[in-house]
Amino acid sequence: MKKGILIALLLAGLAMAEELPKGPGVDLVYAKCQICHDLTYPLQNAGLSEADWEGIVDDMIDYGAPINEEERAVIIKYLATYLGPNPPPAEEAATAETTATVDGKAAYAANCAGCHQAEGQGVPGAFPPLKGNPVLVKDATYPALVVLFGLQGQIEVNGAAYNGAMPPLGHLDDATVAAAVNHVLQTFNAKLLPKDFKPLTPEDVAELRKKALSPAQVLELRKKLLNP
């Protein structure tokens, strides 16, 4: 794990928003395969066989990718299907998408925990804590903007400094973004939340998405929240 974080820091650059074909497991690939590098490597290798993808994923685990047995199987299945020798046509993939209501805990686990850790505790010096983080409760739209557009530059959380880059996760649908952010606020920051807090709705996220900010502009917003 330590080694993985080190590599993550060395390679931490701002990943460009690259689109993967939609299909079961795609969220896990977005969450786990951008920790150390962007998606150029997997996209460039489209067409590989299942055995080849298995070898690559195991190499990444050796490099320190935080992927458990269950996730490994889902990721390999996704890569072998959608970046494999015979990918299904795009329409077919789109209908395989679920429209069920999104569970916040699951949305957080699949898309955020790889970096911010299961309980939102973060990793000192690398990934800021989302638990007990007073900046997040000042305005619920701020964490949603970070998820949609990323964040880059020096920040401080409870006296500890971070200077990394969070890649934009704008590929996540509105319901997933709302569910993950509400989980962060209501589960990890329950004590800090104002009494009149209203959870974000997917419609709120759809509105925020129109802003099309850069990660640096999101950092400016953070500064304004702290020094209104």
- Residues lying near ligand HEC in the complex (CB under 6 A) are found at 4, 7-8, 31-37, 41-42, 45, 56-57, 59-60, 63-65, 75, 111-112, 114-116, 127-128, 130, 133, 135-136, 143, 146-147, 151-153, 155, 157, 162-167, 169, 180-181, 184, 222
- Cα separation, 21 vs 211, whole angstroms: 25
**What minimum distance in Å lies between the beta carbon of 169 and ligand HEC?**
5
When the beta carbons of 102 and 151 are compared against ligand HEC, the nearer one is 151
When the beta carbons of 160 and 195 are compared against ligand HEC, the nearer one is 160
Cα 209 to Cα 24, 32, 48, 92: the distances in Å are 24, 23, 34, 26
**What minimum distance in Å lies between the beta carbon of 144 and ligand HEC?**
8
- Cα separation, 81 vs 203, whole angstroms: 32
- Cα separation, 2 vs 172, whole angstroms: 28
- Cα separation, 195 vs 141, whole angstroms: 17
**What minimum distance in Å lies between the beta carbon of 130 and ligand HEC?**
6
Q: Which two tokens stand for residue 221?
A: 């917003």
When the beta carbons of 95 and 159 are compared against ligand HEC, the nearer one is 159
- Cα separation, 51 vs 45, whole angstroms: 13
**What minimum distance in Å lies between the beta carbon of 126 and ligand HEC?**
7
